[in-house]
Structure 1
Amino acid sequence: MTVRRSGLGRVLIVALTGVIAFSWAAAPAAADPDDEIGKIEEEIEKEADELEGIVEDYNAISEDLAKTKSKIKKLEKKLAPYEEELDELYDSTEGLATAAYKQQGLSEMSAFLNAGTPERFVDRITLLDGVSASTAEIIGKIVDKKAKYDEDLAVLEDLRVDLAESEELLQEKKDTITEGIEGLQKDRKDAFGPDAGYVPDYIPGDRGKIVSQAMAQRGKPYVWAASGPGGYDCSGLILDAYRQLGINLPHNAAAQYNMSMHISRDQLQPGDAVFYNGLQHVAMYIGDGYVVHAPTFGDVVKVEPLDQAATPYYGAGRFI
């Protein structure tokens, strides 16, 4: 019996085999460190998008593989009684087959054993002395059922092999891309320079855009009532970051808090706003217990630990 490979497995294997090799270009040296960081972030974004697709494909393959394995187990369980019944029948007919060999010769016995289809098997087994037509018919039905189940089992097993191969290839590509992104994240942190202090990993998507915009303002002076590009006050820095997404926030910390969805401290994600001192100050959470903010007159936009940026902590808010 010839079993065809599943279309899904075949397509995935062909597609993935050609893309396992993965490389990324090192960020070119640039006079403007922000430009270098931007190029690295673009590459991370690109690879993160590809990784997201690979992960979804991997999850789908894993689910299909689990379902196929379950089908194989059910079919094997269903086959078990027939296997036992066939064994008993083979045992009971062993004497008849031996007698046929002695009485009718090797050529006749070979014809019997190689009947091919269950129908021909029934026709030929009735030629053996001592086998009734009803017994032959029962044996033929069992052989027929066994043949059909064997065929189904072979198809499922072939699909399982295809899916397992695709899963392995997807895992390999997933690992390769992940390793590449980790290298790019390191390059990005290095590009910020030794004086940067804490630098969060780049976050693809809208939250990443917000954090990147705020981080790009580091070192710029605190300017009252300013929202960039030359300087910022605390709420102006948050306003400017969210403006990149087309989200218009008021230029006031208390008003921003009232506009936000209030969240607990343990729910903070990069890009969320952190409020202090009775809503007199606001900063942006960037991960790992750090915020970026515009502190006060005579200072610059900087990164600091959440609990050292200002006091006392008031609450947190989310806009996306």
Structure 2
Amino acid sequence: MRITGATTLGAVLLTSGFAVPTALADEDLDTLIASLEDVSQEATARNEEVKQLEDDLTRGEERLGTLREQAEAARERATAARDAQHAYQRDVNELAGAKYRSLQIDPVTNAISAENPQNAIDRASYLGALTRHTERTVEKLAEATAAAGREHTDASRMVAEANFKQSQLEKQHRVLAEQQEELQIRIREIEEKVASLDESARLAWENKNNPLAPILTGDASGVVGAALSKLGSPYGWGATGPNQFDCSGLMVWAYQQQGKSIPRTSQAQLAGGRPVSRAELQPGDIVGYYPGVTHVGMYIGNGQLVHASDYGIPVQVVSVDSMPWAGAVRY
């Protein structure tokens, strides 16, 4: 199961028995923010894993349907080829029997019994042509039957492989679903503690990446304009808009507004585009962060990035260097 946008800021707090005071010293506040960030990254990574697995399962089911159709078509071709072979074989057997009976008469008798020499020549030529035609027909039918059999075998093998793969993916999905359920329980247990955070703690969390006012040197159109149009939108686990977003969901939505489809998860997004270096960044490029690429944002130029950061933090603009760099790609 996926964590939904209905989850509160509790998704990013530790579940230890920590009480939240009404006022926090700077050191305590820094510790709190660091704790929130650790748990948020853990939850985000789990969420990305589940989304990727869901996509894998969907593709596996689609592939399985295709393989089953191919297997059925191969079986039909094999059956048709065998039926045709049997029908032609009966004809060939009858002709072969007639040819055999004709050959019981020696060539001299055959020639004498013919009305004229040309008839004898024609009869011999016909029998020769019949033999060659029969041999070719049987050979072609045998080849077609063998090919259909191979297609059927290959298709059946592919279906078996797809079934096995789907079974493995479903097992992984169940494991991750259990982990997400445990995380949901943790979230529910700490919601009351989150609600008691004072204003300074909430502001510190929202501003942990030092949000900036966007600086644009050109027209903010295309994917950049789409992403910036969602500044201030709330974070939602697994959300792809139009009102809530997680990090990769904001990228998906912005590119969709330009009629372009990109992968749904942060890891797949960074794997799917053309890699670019930090020095090559252009507005619209997707930048990945943290080990395992558990977070992404969109470069908007002037060293700035728009992203959906963490739960409880609205879509905002920050420095492109505000988080540990993992790579960047262009679509």
TM-score by length of 1: 0.42
Higher relative contact order (CA closer than 8 Å, sequence separation 6+): 2
